[in-house]
Structure 1
Amino acid sequence: MAEFEREGTLVTVVLDGQPQSAVDLEDPTRLDFEYVQHLALVIDALAPGGPLRVTHVGGAGLTLARWVHHSRDGSPQIVLEPDAGLTDAVRRELPLPRGHRIRVRPVDGLTGIAAVRHASADLVVLDAYADGRVPAELGTVEWFAELRRVLAPGGLVLANVADEPGMHYAARVAAGAREALGHVAFVGLHEVLKGKRFGNLVLVGATSPLDLFTLRRATASAALPTGVMGWEEVDRRRPGARPFSATAGDTASSPPPPARGSWRRR
Structure 2
Amino acid sequence: MTDQPHFDFQPDERGGVTVLRDGHPQSHVDLHDPELLVFEYIAQLAIGIDLLPAGPAGITHIGGAGLTLARYVQHTRPGSPQIVLEPDASLTECVRRELPLPRNHRIRVRPQDGASGVRALRDASADAIVVDAYDEGRVPADLLTPTTIAHYRRVMKPGGLLLLNLADEPSRDYLARVLATLADAFDHAAVLAMADVMKGRRFGNYVVIASTSPLDIDEIRRRATRLAATTTVRAAGALRGTAKPFTDDDVAASPPPPDPGAWRAR
RMSD: 1.5
Distance 1:136 1:185 in 2: 21
Cα 1:170/1:18, change in 2 over 3 Å? farther
Give the drift of 1:175: 1.1
CA contact (8 A) 2:58 2:80 kept: yes
- Aligned AA (2:172): M
For 1:66, what is the secondary structure of its paired residue?
helix
In structure 1, the partner of 2:32 is 26
Deviates more, 1:199-208 or 1:139-148: 139-148
Task: Verify: 1:101 aligned to 2:101, yes or no.
Answer: no
Task: Verify: 1:64 aligned to 2:69, yes or no.
Answer: yes
- Aligned AA (1:50): G
Distance 2:115 2:200 in 1: 30
CA contact (8 A) 1:140 1:243 kept: no
Distance 1:245 1:105 in 2: 27
In structure 2, the partner of 1:149 is 154
Q: 1:38 aligns with which of 38, 44, 55?
A: 44
CA contact (8 A) 2:189 2:209 kept: yes
Give the drift of 1:262: 4.3
Distance 1:61 1:221 in 2: 24
Deviates more, 1:68-77 or 1:135-144: 135-144
For 1:13, what is the secondary structure of its paired residue?
strand
Q: 1:115 aligns with which of 115, 120, 130?
A: 120
CA contact (8 A) 2:126 2:155 kept: yes
Q: 2:11 aligns with which of 6, 18, 21?
A: 6
- Aligned AA (1:212): I
Taking structure 1 as the reference length, what is the TM-score of the superposition? 0.93
Give the drift of 1:61: 0.4
In structure 1, the partner of 2:247 is 245
- Aligned AA (1:91): R
CA contact (8 A) 1:16 1:131 kept: no
The alignment of Structure 1 onto Structure 2 pairs a total of residues equal to 258
Distance 2:11 2:258 in 1: 23
Taking structure 2 as the reference length, what is the TM-score of the superposition? 0.93
Give the drift of 1:132: 1.0
Q: 2:80 aligns with which of 57, 75, 78?
A: 75
Distance 1:174 1:15 in 2: 30
Unaligned 5+ runs, structure 1: none
In structure 1, the partner of 2:193 is 188
Q: What do residues 79-137 of structure 1 show as CA deviations (whole Å, max 9, x unaligned)? A: 00111111111101111111111000111111210110000000100001111110011
Deviates more, 1:117-126 or 1:203-212: 203-212
- Aligned AA (1:11): V
Give the drift of 1:211: 1.2
Give the drift of 1:193: 1.1
Task: Verify: 1:159 aligned to 2:164, yes or no.
Answer: yes
Give the drift of 1:261: 6.1
